[in-house]
Amino acid sequence: MDPVQVLSLLLALLLPLGTAVDANKHKRDTAFEIYKKLFEVKRKDQINALNNLIELNDVNQQYKIIDIMLKGLFKVLEDSRVILIAAGVQPDGPFPEDEKIKDAYSHTVENSAFFGDVVLRFPKIVHHYFDRNSNWNSLIRWGIGFCNLSGIFNDGPHTQLLGLMSQELGISEKSPDYKNPFKTENMEFLPNTDAFQKALREEEKRRRKEEKRKEIRKGPRITRSRSEL
């Protein structure tokens, strides 16, 4: 799978799978159980997409794809937080019935989990972006708190995800026995520090050039006087 296909797949995963729950036919607790099953399906898709990203085996492409993906992910998370707070949704309360609120709920849970997958598999790349962005830090703290209270991560294969993510990001203190379970795999596609630092320098150089071009385009322009017109 080429980088463009991988990026398209990852961005598509930022959208909710959709619960397809008829509130008139199911009780709220039943709707929650249905969503949990759909959540498992979404998680499999997310893991498969990340495996495709790993298989690119190109740190420059991974860097660029993750950059774009994280911007989209946190924009979705920010918009979802606004909707959920405005609606007064409590993560440990009844599963929402309104479609817009339901989507915001799904966005929050699924994208918070997905970010955990990304940071554990690509910690160096994610830290490069995350550590300099206080807004992202605030958003994921809220997202992790929401997920912890939702009950969706209480059982199944994702029970440790939130804790591992929090420790990797420095949101919670690392336990003495903390270990990133994907550290060995990470070494395969980030073979050495020199290669990674080279990729960072190239990307920063590209960004500076892009920002400079934008500044030039936004610079003062000569306007014609009415007499010239």
More confidently predicted of 191 and 9: 9
Contact 1, 55 (CB under 8 A): yes
What is the distance between the alpha carbons of residues 5 and 42, in angstroms, rounded to a whole number?
18
Find, among 88, 94, 101, the residue nearest to 16 by Cα: 101
More confidently predicted of 66 and 225: 66
Instruction: State the pLDDT at residue 24.
Output: 44
Contact 10, 53 (CB under 8 A): yes
221 within domain boundaries? no
The total of structural domains in the chain comes to 1
If you average pLDDT over residues 73-98, what whole number do you get? 96
Q: For residue 54, give the amino acid letter.
A: I
165 within domain boundaries? yes
How many other β-carbons are positioned within 10 Å of the β-carbon of residue 160?
11
Q: Model-level pTM? A: 0.74
Contact 169, 196 (CB under 8 A): no
Instruction: State the pLDDT at residue 11.
Output: 61
pLDDT per position as a tens digit, 29-50: 788 999 999 999 999 999 999 9
CA 60 to chain centre: 19
What is the distance between the alpha carbons of residues 42 and 110, in angstroms, rounded to a whole number?
8
pLDDT per position as a tens digit, 182-217: 876 444 344 445 655 666 667 667 667 776 776 776
198 within domain boundaries? no
How many other β-carbons are positioned within 10 Å of the β-carbon of residue 16?
22
Locus of tokens 């020199």: 194
83 within domain boundaries? yes
Which range in 14-18, 19-23, 121-125, 154-158 is most confidently predicted, on average pLDDT?
121-125
71 within domain boundaries? yes
More confidently predicted of 209 and 144: 144
3-12 and 59-86 are packed helices; what angle lies between their axes, rounded to 10 degrees? 10
What is the distance between the alpha carbons of residues 31 and 50, in angstroms, rounded to a whole number?
28
65 within domain boundaries? yes
35 within domain boundaries? yes
Instruction: State the pLDDT at residue 93.
Output: 92
Host domain of residue 55: 26-182
169 within domain boundaries? yes
